[in-house]
Amino acid sequence: MNYYIKYLGAFIYLTFVISLILTTITNPGVVTKKYYLENYKADKTIIKNFRICRKCNIVMDLDKGTEHCVECGICIMNNDHHCPWTSKCVGKKNIKMFYIFVGSLAAHIVYLVFALVSLAVFSENLNKK
């Protein structure tokens, strides 16, 4: 039984580390002029709710949640927030990995608390004998 608990801890830790790395290296959905030229001129889609970004000088589609990140200095599609842990924005393309990262972090914390409590109980039982 102890081996399964150790393997579970290793699995949770690896999930945590891999999801952190993938969240960090994945493009969050950076919007460029080329993106809008390729996608909107080809589809002949009219952007109804828009504004021009003062810093990037690109068309920001407000219906898609495009926002300018002050920390990164770029516009991100479906911008959720700028994450200080990954030092990167969380947007349309990396939000799933970010949720896996946060979930595995919470699971890892619960696992560590469980391991420390069980270790304290186990060592107390050894001292009584």
Q: Which DSSP state fits 48? A: S
Query: Do 104 and 16 meet the contact criterion of CB atoms below 8 Å apart?
Result: yes
Structure tokens at 61: 């589609």
Structure tokens at 87: 């030092």
Please pick, among 69, 75, 83, 89, the residue that the annotation labels catalytic: 83
Query: Do 68 and 55 meet the contact criterion of CB atoms below 8 Å apart?
Result: yes
Residue 48 dihedral angles phi and psi, to the nearest 5°: -90, -40
Structure tokens at 65: 């949640």
Query: Do 88 and 82 meet the contact criterion of CB atoms below 8 Å apart?
Result: yes
Whether 69 sits among the annotated catalytic residues: the reply is: no
Catalytic center residues: 83
